[in-house]
Amino acid sequence: MNYNTAVLRSKYISLLKKRNFNTPQILKAALYLTWGASFLLALTTISGAQTQRQAIQSVGKDSIPSIITAQRIKDTLVGMDAYVANELLLKPTDYVGAPQEYDKFRRSAIDGYEERRKAFSERLIIAAKNITYGEAETKPIETLQLSLGDYIAKVQSARDFHKRGDVNGALFAYREASQIIDNILMPAVDKLDKVNLQQLDIIYSQQGFKTTALLFIILISGTTLLALLAVTQVFLYLRMRRILNPFLLGATAMTLLFLGYTTQSLISASNNLKVAKEDAFNSLYALRQARALAYGANADESRYLLDKENALKHEQAFFDKVNQIMKLPVGKTWNDVKATLIAGKKVEGITGLFATEINNITFTGEREAVIKAISTFGDYLDIDKQIRQLEQSGKHLEAVKLNVGKDKGQSNFAFDEFKKAHLKAQEINNKVLDKYIDQGFQNIQGFEAITVIATLTISTLTLFGLRKRLLEYR
């Protein structure tokens, strides 16, 4: 022992004697303090894991699925409306000499409507099974369930008038049906969407702060435990000339490993949630909104031809929705945007939901899928322009057939191509969303059990490390 160490040891022992602490008392105090610090570390770590898990659950399993379901319900509603409008646009006399062609068209419209109606019911059940925020969700779901029956009744009335050849009666009944869609059903879906989106934003913004705060507390707890173990080692060295205590050294190593594992796991879970929310969901939500608006625009296109008295209103509604999907700067076309994206350049001056998605392209294949969606929607808009030109030229029947047609070069064919391309962009983000939410859960899977085992091991090693020293004073 060198001179400096001897002096330090002498002063240390003198201080302890002045305070009337004997060695067994100090060792027992060190043991109990270490156990207390281990318990505090376990408590804060479990709290951190549970807080992170709850955030992932609320974001990935409660809010986001309800938001997506609400958007899909929107799709079904406007899809039903478009099929009804298409069915009412044509009558048997428009297919003189080709009754089978009319029957095929009519059956296609009816089947499309029924498919959408069933999908609405299925999606409403899904929404009802995932209620998380109480009355804020149950009220719009009840409205959707009750008001759909009124809508279906009005649709059937319009069909009955149409079958009898009563154009005015069919149009009046259809207007009543569309008012239910526009004024009751769609606002109810928007409320369902909004309440979950608000909760998602609140929970996500809070979880970042909570994770940082809890990590700080965990590190303080762990540092306190490490300091106690280090001080105990120093005490054993100075008082009992024990250079190393293998058990205390093991407890120290276990504490360091556990702190590293905890920090890495919680940060990884938080980062995975960030990718899921900011990169995948934000793009997916913009795409889902754009899809619902596109369905609505498609219905407005048919309303424009069906309800001539309100044609200008329906035309304006169509272009309002298109601008929400993507509004172009003056002098630019959808093909210009497509060419700029293909060239890998930034698209300047555009706004709307596609602009949101373009500025948030992150994943492999996403750019190509978005370019395809933009291209096919541009093709659909080109055909819409032809429809309006035919209608304004007095060629109503030609405009109607171009609108309801499913062959290449006709409106419904182009719209189906857009839906296929758009779905690919959604699927890319949806897969990433699911992947990172699952990884977030995996980061903290079984964390409570791991924490208990780790802290019990630290406490046990400390006990074994000090027990022999305590036995020396019996």
Overall size of the chain counted in residues: 474
The C-alpha atoms of residue 282 and residue 163 are separated, in whole angstroms, by 46
Helix, strand, coil % over all residues of the chain, rounded to 5: 85, 0, 15
pTM summary value: 0.84
pLDDT in tens, 234-282: 877 776 666 678 888 999 999 999 999 999 999 999 999 999 999 999 9
Amino acid letter, residue 150: D
Give the rounded distance of the alpha carbon of 382 from its chain centre.
33
Q: What is the dihedral of CA 233, 235, 240, 245, to 10 degrees?
A: -10
> What does the DSSP 8-state code read for residue 132?
-
Given pLDDT bands bounded at 50, 70 and 90, which one contains residue 42?
Answer: very high
Average pLDDT over residues 21-28: 74
Q: Is the pLDDT of residue 138 over 90?
A: yes
11 vs 385, more confident? 385
409: left (phi over 0), alpha (psi -120 to 50) or beta: left
Average pLDDT over residues 21-31: 77
Encode 345-371 in three state secondary structure. Answer: CCCCCCECHHHHHHCCCCCCCHHHHHH
In this structure, are residues 174 and 306 in contact, taking their beta carbons and an 8 Å threshold? yes
216 vs 241, more confident? 216
Residue 64, classified by CB atoms within 10 Å of its CB into exposed (0-12), middle (13-18) or buried (19+), is: buried
The C-alpha atoms of residue 30 and residue 26 are separated, in whole angstroms, by 6
Given pLDDT bands bounded at 50, 70 and 90, which one contains residue 226?
Answer: very high
The C-alpha atoms of residue 123 and residue 334 are separated, in whole angstroms, by 33
Lowest-confidence region among 67-71, 132-136, 272-276, 434-438: 132-136
Angle at 79 between CA 360 and CA 175, to 5 degrees: 125
In this structure, are residues 76 and 118 in contact, taking their beta carbons and an 8 Å threshold? no
Average pLDDT over residues 365-376: 93
Helical residues (DSSP H) of 64-134, grouped into ranges: 64-89, 99-129
Q: Is the pLDDT of residue 102 over 90?
A: no
Determine the angle formed by the axes of helices 64-89 and 396-404, rounding to 10 degrees: 140
Average pLDDT over residues 200-218: 87
Burial call 394-413: b when 16+ CB within 10 Å, e when fewer: eeeeebbbbbbbeeeebbbb
Above pLDDT 90, what percent of the chain?
64
Q: Is the pLDDT of residue 35 over 70?
A: yes
- The average confidence (pLDDT) of the chain is 88
In this structure, are residues 399 and 94 in contact, taking their beta carbons and an 8 Å threshold? no
Given pLDDT bands bounded at 50, 70 and 90, which one contains residue 19?
Answer: low
* SS3 state at 87: helix
Residue 33 tokens read as 């303090």
Amino acid letter, residue 136: A
Given pLDDT bands bounded at 50, 70 and 90, which one contains residue 473?
Answer: low
Q: Note the pLDDT of residue 314.
A: 95
Q: Is the pLDDT of residue 357 over 90?
A: yes
Please identify which residue in the block is written with the tokens 């990590």.
215
